[in-house]
Amino acid sequence: MATRIQEVSDAAIEAAQAEAMKIMTEAKLQIEKLGLEVSLITRCPNGSKWPVLMLDAGQSYPAIEAVRNGQR
């Protein structure tokens, strides 16, 4: 059972991860405008999620995990 502190920490991590993905996606688009190819694959600091261009691809964490685990 998660404690209140853990729930708050998880929410803060999720928010920070989403913000980081927005920043990286914007940078990716700017680099692509220069005619260069960009591939971003990151691993989140908490080690539980794989936000692989999540916002660019419109994928959710469960969708990313399903692909990663060979279920899609």
pLDDT in tens, 21-68: 888 888 888 988 988 877 766 555 555 454 444 544 445 666 666 766
Give the pLDDT of residue 10.
77
Supply the pTM of this predicted model: 0.47
Confidence at 9, pLDDT banded by 50, 70, 90 = confident
Confidence at 7, pLDDT banded by 50, 70, 90 = low
More confident call, 72 vs 29: 29
Radius of gyration of the chain (CA): 14
Residues 30, 63, 70, 9: what is their CA dihedral angle, to the nearest 10 degrees?
A: 90
